[in-house]
Chain A
Amino acid sequence: MALLEIEHVDVFYGAVQALRSVSLRVEQGEVVSLVGSNGAGKTTTLNAICGLVRPRAGDVRFDGQSIARVPTHELVRRGLVMAPEGRGIFPNLTVAENLDLGAYSRRDHGAVKTDLDRVLALFPRLNERMRQKGGTLSGGEQQMLAIGRALMSRPKLLLLDEPSLGLAPLLVKVIFDTIDAINREGVTVLLVEQNANAALKHSKRAYVLESGSIALEGDASQLRDDPAVKAAYLGE
């Protein structure tokens, strides 16, 4: 049984259809990436998974249960967490307060402390900036904070929306290496990226989204060799 299954999901914004019969699945322990150009519907897919928009048709299942009607806060409690696009940190709160809010829905305060240590070990830069305001961090640090904060809720499945957006190549590498590390710790990841090259390198399987529907899917390594993918997304 897959950890996450989306079946024939349609999403509309008013009269405009943003997703057309999108199906995808993420197995326990995988890193799966979802690539596509601007406006393809990547963010919409993640929003549909975590309950921020409701599909008009189709089903979303997490851990074997349908979550198409489950509210976002309940999903967070069950271990499905998103780090939203554009970092979405709390700019006037310190790094420590941001991370603390990541554990908002948890009641096991003792374990939160050890998770904080783990997050800070993963992002040593955050550790040095615990009392700095989130909004004054660099773009890369803010991204680390967004991911770290999502990890504080102890997710089973982490949804990342364009974590490498606007980062220098060196930092892009740091972020992707961190995603690997997070995955090694047992967190399943669904990764949305426009940087198809890096995303395919760091994931096991991938889906290509084009104007609201899945155009291609398969092993990441295979997709990297696919001539159509090369031409459209890898700039080769």
Chain B
Amino acid sequence: MLRTLGILALICAAAFGLHLVLDSIDAYWARIANLCGISILLAVSLNVINGLCGQFSLGHAGFMAIGAYVSAFFTTTLRYFDDAAGQYVTVLPLLDQSWGFVPALLLGGFAAAAAGLVIGIPTLRLRGDYLAIATLGFGEIVTIMITNFSKVGGANGLSGIPAYSNGFWIFTFAGICVLFTLHLQRSTFGRALIAIRENELAAEVMGIRTARIKIAAFVYGAFFAGIAGGLLGHFLQTISPATFGFMKSIEVIVMLVLGGLGSLTGAIIGAVTLTVLPELLRDVETSTGMPGIRMVVYSLVLILLMLFRPQGIFGQRELSLRLLRSLLPGRRKEGAPSAPAAFTAQQSVEAKTFFARAPQTLPPQNEGKK
């Protein structure tokens, strides 16, 4: 408990440091950095559903939308301009403060998690393509419902959301999400997720409560997607149903596939790459004078990556100190191929840290062959 609090304090401190740095640099790049943080939240949370548990979900934008709208509802819709006081007044006095939007954010997260609970249920019957279509349908339903809900702006969207999101909050939540997920991956729950992805029937007969675990994966992923949505809303200050269309879900999936489906590090790298890359490519557009060339190059980069590393940058591996060490020259295990950047089988074994209590190899015994 004390350790957890310590780590939380550390995350907050780091996020605050980052916040100060972002405040001092070019606003354009600071904005991209903040969007990277939100992307990390999205990719890492979707990785739990798609990557670890193997349930192909196309509904992540739907969870985001719920989080964004619910939190904005509390901070924006429930706010009115008090002529006497000459300022905006909120129904809950707490929400007047910048930090006060955290409860609203959490409510958005919980609302999204509740939706995750509901959407988790079809996963008990549906697999693969069918589940993908069902979750796609869920995302569409969410946006259609928002479009028809005039209280939050309908199709025009909701604007005037107070700009409460900043580097501090974004990276605090991103840090918490990464830390929780790291912990989760190494827990019994994480092992169960991976077992379901690998072979659901076998997982079931090993005593894993597959139905529960799959729903839990959706609830967990949805919660952080909801938080990411809330952060995005209070960052952009304007949201509309179109912000959370199914292309948004696809975008997050591309981040995962690029980084390596099932890898936490991969999700982070994928999120940052796909947030920064389109911006870098703006320069290409201005220097060549060809508008639109940006998306062509972007798509080409993706196609090439998938051709040469179909398993994504990290595969299912994690970037760990051990992996880094094994990549250093001179410390390579004997007999391992010396291709420099490639992740060899041996290294992948070393880097695999799914199981915290993986049994140690025992002294060799005699071969049982006749």
Contact = CB atoms under 8 A, between A and B. Distances in A.
Given A52-B204, A88-B199, A89-B202, A131 B194 contact: no
A50 B206 CA distance: 11
Contacts of A101: 191, 195, 203, 206, 208
Contact of B364 (A76, A128, A131, A150): A128
B316 interface: yes
A99 interface: yes
Nearest to A71: B209
Nearest to B348: A133
A124 B201 contact: no
A77 interface: yes
A84 interface: yes
Contact of A91 (B198, B352, B365, B368): B198
Given A88-B202, A89-B199, A117-B362, A73 B194 contact: no
B272 to A, nearest CB: 25
A90 B361 contact: no
Q: Give the interface size bracket for A toward B.
A: 35 or more
Interface in B179-207: 188, 191-192, 194-195, 198-199, 201-207
A4 interface: no
A150 B194 CA distance: 18
Given A117-B362, A173-B370, A153 B207 contact: yes
Contact of A170 (B199, B203, B366, B370): B370
Nearest to A85: B201
A84 B201 contact: yes
Nearest to B368: A124
A102 B205 CA distance: 9
Contacts of B362: 117, 120, 127
Contact of B368 (A72, A99, A123, A153): A123
B198 A149 contact: no
A93 interface: yes
Nearest to A83: B205
A164 to B, nearest CB: 16
Which of B207, B208, B352, B369 counts the most chain A CB atoms within 10 A?
B207
B367 interface: yes
Contacts, number: 112
Interface string B165-186: 0000000000000000000000
A100 B206 contact: no
A96 B367 CA distance: 18
Nearest to A130: B361
Contact of A92 (B202, B206, B208, B316): B316
Interface in A82-111: 82-84, 88-94, 96-97, 99-102, 104-105, 109
B201 A88 contact: yes
B359 A73 contact: no
B355 interface: yes
Contacts of A88: 199, 201-202, 205
A40 interface: no
Interface in B197-230: 198-199, 201-209
Contact of A131 (B205, B354, B361, B368): B361
Contact of B359 (A96, A104, A132): A96
B359 A116 contact: yes
Given A84-B202, A90-B202, A121 B365 contact: yes
Given A50-B205, A77-B207, A104-B207, A92 B358 contact: no
A89 B364 CA distance: 23
A184 interface: no
B359 A100 contact: yes
A101 B213 CA distance: 15
A124 B194 CA distance: 26
A72 B204 contact: yes
Interface string A115-149: 01100110111011011100000000000000001
A131 B365 contact: no
A81 interface: yes
B349 interface: yes
A134 B212 CA distance: 26
B198 A174 contact: no
A201 interface: no
Given A97-B354, A97-B358, A100-B191, A153 B365 contact: no
Nearest to A134: B198
B355 A100 contact: yes
Contact of A104 (B198, B208, B361, B365): B208
Contacts of B367: 124-125, 128
A73 B370 contact: no
B125 interface: no
Nearest to A106: B207
A113 interface: yes
Nearest 7 Cβ contacts at the A-B interface: A76-B207, A105-B207, A90-B198, A88-B202, A124-B365, A73-B207, A124-B368
